[in-house]
């Protein structure tokens, strides 16, 4: 994603709407060949440092009349995100600097041309240090600040990405950046309700769901809208967006804090042309994935496990459990796993469980660190520490 300082958006004070920057097929056709050239710059210069690559990108874009500085910076960031750089995780550069500076300190001050007063020539000292370290000075110099982000060296350039794909990423990234300042959001969905729910959970978004006719309405109200204005929850909105873009038949409206601390509406639908490259993820957490995998290799006495297969309705409220356990000779049982959530989300989860606990047979699997935070309900529960075992759940089925 882009950083906030690279965001470009247009605020309409008359209609109170915000429009993130977008490069459109008709009005920005000239960007397509340029995007291909930018990708080629990275592919042709593997081994160069980040700073030099950015200078090449700026040089190519600076003469385009409608390419402001922030747009140039956004392209650099997106190209970097699609690439990989060498990162000095072992701290070798810092160790090398200490060694070089220690050796050079005894020769201070260094001068370009030695004389009677200052007799330590810079080039001579560099040769001495190179000899001491048994490494050519050119190699020492290339590694000396390799832990600084500007001097990270490109290891792999974007391979499968093309110019059209880079422009598509730009449009999505600018919309995400506009959501950094969002304090609430609603999504109306039809066909892909379950997929949208899964991506909301993956983004750790506090949400409630209501039903209106044939639509499900997701209400996302983060801590920012309750306690104080903060942009941290907006980052979760931004992380949710690519997953939403991979779904069908939805519309979105977010409330965004803009200039003069005024609220603006950001509106988007699945027909607006933004493309996502998100791969479908079946599970919201490692706990769920490991539990489902273990279920496949366990003798379950005829119980079958299904992912988010049951939707409960009570008035306009909706509840979807993590799993449905079905059996040919027994009624279905819903399994809800409560793991690491925010206090606000946990409070909402408990209220929803209290509302639906008598509408279906439900069992809870609760991380032991949250046991005291979940009040007694008329719902059987089992505690887990790290992984939830099928045997624990099977042991509860006789109680419901």
Instruction: Determine the average pLDDT of the residues in 244-253.
Output: 94
Transcribe 260-272 into DSSP letters.
GG-EEEEEEETTS
pTM over 0.85: no
Neighbouring C-beta atoms of residue 81, cutoff 10 Å: 13
What is the C-alpha separation between 32 and 171, in angstroms, rounded?
13
pLDDT at 226: 44
Task: Record the tokens describing residue 276, joined without a space.
Answer: 């996502």
Q: Where are the alpha helices (DSSP H) in the chain?
A: 31-44, 50-61, 69-81, 92-105, 122-133, 137-143, 163-179, 193-202, 223-226, 232-245, 286-296, 343-356, 390-396
Which neighbouring-strand residues pair with 124? none
Asked whether 330 and 363 are in contact (CB, 8 A), the reply is no
Of 100, 94, 80, the C-alpha closest to 6 is 80
Angle, CA 390 vertex, CA 387 and CA 391 arms, to 5°: 110
Q: What is the pLDDT of residues 267-305, one digit of tens each?
A: 999 999 999 887 666 677 889 999 999 999 999 989 999
Q: Are the C-beta atoms of residues 164 and 32 closer than 8 Å to each other?
A: yes
| 3-state class (DSSP) for residue 348 | helix
pLDDT at 340: 66
Q: Please answer whether residues 251 and 257 qualify as being in contact, where contact means their C-beta atoms are separated by less than 8 angstroms.
A: no
Residues 207 and 220 sit within 8 Å (Cβ to Cβ): yes
Spatial neighbors of 20 by CB under 8 A, at least 6 apart, are: 7, 8, 9, 171, 174, 175, 177, 178, 266
Give the mean model confidence (pLDDT) for residues 347-351.
82
Residue with tokens 């439900």: 362
Cα separations (Å) of 287 from 47, 76, 322, 394?
A: 40, 37, 11, 17
User: CA dihedral defined by 65, 71, 76, 78, rounded to 10 degrees?
Assistant: -130
**Torsion over CA: 88, 94, 99, 105 (sign):** positive
Specify the pLDDT at position 341: 66
Please write the tens of the pLDDT for every residue from 191-234.
788 888 888 888 878 788 888 888 999 999 865 444 444 566 89
**Is residue 266 within 8 Å of residue 20, measured between CB atoms?**
yes
pLDDT exceeds 60 at position 13: yes
Strand partners, 382: 365
Nearest Cα neighbor of 394 from 346, 323, 338, 339 is: 323
DSSP string, 41-61: HHHHTTTSBHHHHHHHHHHHH
Tell me how far apart the alpha carbons of residues 375 and 208 are, in angstroms, rounded to a whole number. Answer: 20
Task: Give CA–CA dist 312/324, Å, rounded.
Answer: 12
Q: State how far the Cα of 347 lies from the Cα of 362, in Å rounded to an integer.
A: 18
pLDDT of residue 342: 67
Give the span between the Cα atoms of 362 and 320, in whole angstroms.
11
Task: With beta carbons less than 8 A apart as the criterion, state whether 346 and 338 touch.
Answer: yes
Which pLDDT score is estimated for 225? Answer: 45
What is the tens place of the pLDDT at every residue in 110-156?
A: 888 877 778 888 899 999 999 999 999 999 998 899 899 999 999 99
pLDDT at position 16 over 80 = yes
Domain architecture of the chain: domains with CATH: 92-146 (no CATH), 180-281 (3.30.70), 286-399 (3.40.1350)
- Hey, what's the torsion of the CAs at 78, 79, 81, 85, to 10 degrees? -150
């Amino acid at each position: 994603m882009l950083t906030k300082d690279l965001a470009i958006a247009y605020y309409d004070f008359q209609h109170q709407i915000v429009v993130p920057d977008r490069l459109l097929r008709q009005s920005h056709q000239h960007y397509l060949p340029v995007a291909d050239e930018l990708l080629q710059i990275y592919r042709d210069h593997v081994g160069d440092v980040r700073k030099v690559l950015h200078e090449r990108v700026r040089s190519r874009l600076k003469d385009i009349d409608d390419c402001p500085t922030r747009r140039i910076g956004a392209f650099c960031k997106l190209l970097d995100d699609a690439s990989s750089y060498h990162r000095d995780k072992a701290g070798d550069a810092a160790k090398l600097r200490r060694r070089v500076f220690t050796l050079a300190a005894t020769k201070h001050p260094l001068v370009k041309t030695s004389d009677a007063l200052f007799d330590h020539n810079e080039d001579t000292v560099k040769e001495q240090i190179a000899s001491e370290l048994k490494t050519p000075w050119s190699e020492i110099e290339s590694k000396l600040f390799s832990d600084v982000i500007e001097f990270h060296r490109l290891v792999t350039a974007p391979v499968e990405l093309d110019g059209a794909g880079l422009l598509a990423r730009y449009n999505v990234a600018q919309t995400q950046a506009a959501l950094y300042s969002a304090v609430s959001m609603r999504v109306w969905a039809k066909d892909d309700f379950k997929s949208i729910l899964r991506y909301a959970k993956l983004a750790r978004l506090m949400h409630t769901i209501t039903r209106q006719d044939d639509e499900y309405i997701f209400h996302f109200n983060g801590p920012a809208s309750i306690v104080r204005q903060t942009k941290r929850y907006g980052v979760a909105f931004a992380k949710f967006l690519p997953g939403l873009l991979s779904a069908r038949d939805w519309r979105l409206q977010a409330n965004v804090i803009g200039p003069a601390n005024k609220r603006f509406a950001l509106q988007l639908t699945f027909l607006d042309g933004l493309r996502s490259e998100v791969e479908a993820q079946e599970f919201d957490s490692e706990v769920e994935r490991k539990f489902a995998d273990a279920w496949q290799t366990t003798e379950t006495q005829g119980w079958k496990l299904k992912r988010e297969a049951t939707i409960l309705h009570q008035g306009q409220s909706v509840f979807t459990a993590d799993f449905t356990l079905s059996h040919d000779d027994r009624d279905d049982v819903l399994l809800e796993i409560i793991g690491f959530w925010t206090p606000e989300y946990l409070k909402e989860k408990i209220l929803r469980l209290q509302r639906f606990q008598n509408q279906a047979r439900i069992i809870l699997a609760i991380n032991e660190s949250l046991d005291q935070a979940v009040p007694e309900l008329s719902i059987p529960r089992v505690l887990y520490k790290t992984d939830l075992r099928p045997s624990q759940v099977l042991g509860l089925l006789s109680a419901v």
